[in-house]
Amino acid sequence: MIGTVFFLWGIAAVVDNIFKINTGIAPVLWMSYISLILLGIGILRRSASLIASQIAIIFIPYLFWNVDFFHQLITKESLFGITDYFFAPGALSGKIITLQHIFNMPLSLYSLYLIGLKSRSFPIVSMIQVSVVFIISRLVTDYDRNVNCVYHNCANFTFGIPYIAEWFISQFLMVLITSWFLIKIFKIKKEK
């Protein structure tokens, strides 16, 4: 059931953006949509490694998204600037679709718990995926759309180093930190 919901929600996100003709292909490439579809497939196929690889990519960004969202919802003030788009005038369909940021992580972790994680190699898939998505996003989108924050930080802070290095370092660190926690939580032994 969870896998079907994720898969269909991801497809709905893609279809919704396809009908926004003026945006081109850019919004279809958002990592959130890609991960949502892959999480759905992973849950339906009972592939713990695919599920874990997606959690490793989105867990920390979703934490920041949720903190920013609920802060702005409660205080009416932007914290990081990540969810400002949600509170701006716009189509209701996009707002409904983006609410997946709230329920995605708990349901993904619950699904991973039910299926059970046995392999430690999933971070490799995560790092390859974020690298490929970065390259494609840079090739087919522009600075103004900033899909996957590949041109400039989507939040209102920076680390003061060249941005491409900042992007890859932050992505790989988030993947590695989340992966370390998943491996510890699921008590996975080193593979021989």
CA distances from 176 to 3, 29, 58, 63, 70 (A): 25, 23, 12, 16, 26
pLDDT in tens, 113-164: 999 998 889 999 999 999 999 999 999 888 888 888 899 887 766 778 999 9
Mean pLDDT of the chain: 89
pLDDT at residue 46 is higher than 60: yes
